[in-house]
Structure 1
Amino acid sequence: MPDPYEPLLRMYERGGGFYLQEYLDLNGVMIPLRNVESNASTTPFVTLSPATLDALDGEGESMYFAKISNGYPRHSPRGIVRRRVDDDQTHDEAFTRNLRWEPTEYLKLYDLGHNDIDHVQITEIEAATFIETLTEKLAGTS
């Protein structure tokens, strides 16, 4: 059985913290307080891979998007991009084959009508799954 405290220890090792009010606030990620049944039905965040957690870390608030098209559905997208807002500045970044976030103009160009590749907003868990899958694929461990 996995160590139940490992995720909490990882969070503290990475400089995280929390506040408990109407929500459990994990320094920006808000989790509503609910009953046991609704918490048990929530999709868990299962990765503790340092590479994936490093890729998800970023200053400010992030929204993630999956680039989809024929043959590339939401669960297996062409790629992912994120929009990060930090100190009232917006940063659009794509997760690349270099296994890091790099600046992209994709979202701005899409808004201007260059929309031959569509996208949908995804959760942080879905972004983590993509990052972990790509990392394993490029490392040859999948």
Structure 2
Amino acid sequence: MGEAVTYYAIVNEFSSRERPFGIVRRVKHEGGQRDEVFSRDLKWEHTALLYSAERGDLTNDLVPINEEEAGRIVERIRGLASPDA
């Protein structure tokens, strides 16, 4: 078994699916799973957001998206962090 990745757009009252607040992913692998958020440091880092949402934390909506949408969101975030943005 390889890895299976599911992406989620983080949507809150100030954002939308098209322009989400952020992005998280769940990576399932032979040893279990790990959840990661694309951070302000422009890298994937551990997060408890998915775990919290599954247990009732409704601060943000986590909307499932495909890999292509995830790539566009990551590139937009990188662009916003660019000094030229």
TM-score normalized by the length of structure 2: 0.90
Q: Which runs of 4+ in 1 moved over 2 A?
A: none
Q: Deviations over 1:28-62 (max 9, x none)?
A: xxxxxxxxxxxxxxxxxxxxxxxxxxxxxxx7110
Please report how far the alpha carbon of residue 71 of structure 1 lies from its aligned counterpart in structure 2 after TM superposition.
2.6
Please report how far the alpha carbon of residue 140 of structure 1 lies from its aligned counterpart in structure 2 after TM superposition.
2.4
Counterpart check, 1:99 vs 2:49:
no
* Fraction of identical pairs, as percent: 31
Gaps of 5+ in 2: none
State the number of aligned residues.
84
* Counterpart residue number, 1:129: 72
Structure 2: how far apart are the matches of 1:86 and 1:140? 36
Counterpart check, 1:109 vs 2:49:
no
Q: What is the alpha-carbon root mean square deviation over aligned residues?
A: 1.3
- Which of the pair is proportionally richer in strand? 2
Gaps of 5+ in 1: 1-58
Larger RCO: 1 or 2 (CA < 8 Å, sep 6+): 2
Counterpart check, 1:71 vs 2:8:
no
Structure 2: how far apart are the matches of 1:72 and 1:123? 18
Q: Classify the secondary structure of the residue corresponding to 1:116.
A: coil
TM-score normalized by the length of structure 1: 0.56
Highest CA radius of gyration, 1 or 2?
Answer: 1
Amino acid at match of 1:101: W
